[in-house]
A = this chain, B = another copy of it.
Amino acid sequence: MNIKDRIIQQAGRLFFQYGVKSISMDEVASSLGISKRTIYENFKDKEDLLLSYLKHEFEQRNQLVREFMEQCDNVIEVFLHIMEIHKTASFVNVKFYEDIYKYYPRVNAFLKNEHNKANDFLIKFLQKGIEQGVIRENLNVKVVAFLVEESTSVYIRASYLEKPPFSFSELTSTMMINFIRGISTEKGIKIVDEYLMKHQIEQ
């Protein structure tokens, strides 16, 4: 991995865990054993670094979804694969999003734009599932696309809980399995159940 990618990855990890504002460029540099100057040779400022990190994350996410869509027979299986990816994540420090909202307008605008693109994509994706007979045809896809994007906020608020009575992985799988079953036809639910049985996933 080149130095630029290493900086992006480490900064992202620190921002996610402690928030953006509380992490200095010095801390990013020293945690990598490099000089602050090396960071500034690659990134204009902290907002630039944060934006590079998020762009990288979204590109990776979109690439994965494209791969899943090629590999999978139907929309339900794509959702289930995405669930598997999500489960390996962890609670994000609420300061991460609060800081972006308060202090980094360019990043905020970027997230808003990604959100809109994701919404448009999701509506088409759900309609494809309806054509495949795995998603209910009388489903209000606009509301459902909104709810999918909203799930990010559920994770954020769960990370506010002082003593969460469940793990991040339990939250993700229960939420996603319920969600997928909820929008599925009988045929879709069978695909879910077979997948869960095969992978022995808790629901």
What residues of chain A have their CB less than 8 Å away from a CB belonging to chain B?
Answer: 136, 138-140, 142-144, 146-147, 150, 153-154, 157-158, 165-166, 170-171, 174-175, 177-183, 202-203
A154 and chain B: residue at smallest CB distance = B150
Check if B150 sits within 8 Å of A157, measured CB to CB. yes
Residues A178 and B182 in contact, CB atoms below 8 Å apart: yes
Contact among B146, B180, B203 with A158 in the assembled complex (CB-CB below 8 Å): B146
Partner of A203, one of B140, B146, B181: B140
Copies held by the complex: 2
Contact of A171 among B143, B170, B183 (CB under 8 A): B143
Our pick among B142, B177, B203 for the contact of A166 (Cβ within 8 Å) is B142
The distance in angstroms between the C-alpha atoms of A150 and B157, with both chains bound, is: 8
Residue of B165, B179, B202 near A178 (CB, 8 A) is B179
Q: How far is the CA of A31 from the CA of B16 in the complex (A)?
A: 48
For the complex, what is the distance from the CA of A136 to the CA of B154, rounded to whole Å?
Answer: 22
Asked whether A175 lies within 8 Å of B202 as measured between CB atoms, the reply is no
Extra inter-chain contacts (13) besides given A138-B202, A144-B174, A180-B182, CB under 8 Å: A139-B203, A142-B165, A142-B166, A142-B170, A144-B178, A147-B175, A147-B178, A153-B154, A154-B154, A177-B182, A178-B182, A178-B183, A181-B182
CB-CB < 8 A to A140: which residues of B? Answer: 166, 170, 174, 202-203
Q: A101 vs B36: C-alpha distance in the bound complex, in angstroms?
A: 40
Q: How far is the CB of A31 from chain B (nearest CB, A)?
A: 34
Contact of A153 among B138, B146, B157, B174 (CB under 8 A): B157
B143 touches A166 (CB 8 A): yes
Please, how many angstroms separate the alpha-carbon atoms of A184 and B179 in the complex? 11
- Shortest Cβ gap from A72 to chain B (Å): 21
| Cross-chain contact of A136 among B139, B150, B203 (Cβ < 8 A) | B203
Report the minimum CB–CB distance from A165 to chain B (whole Å): 5
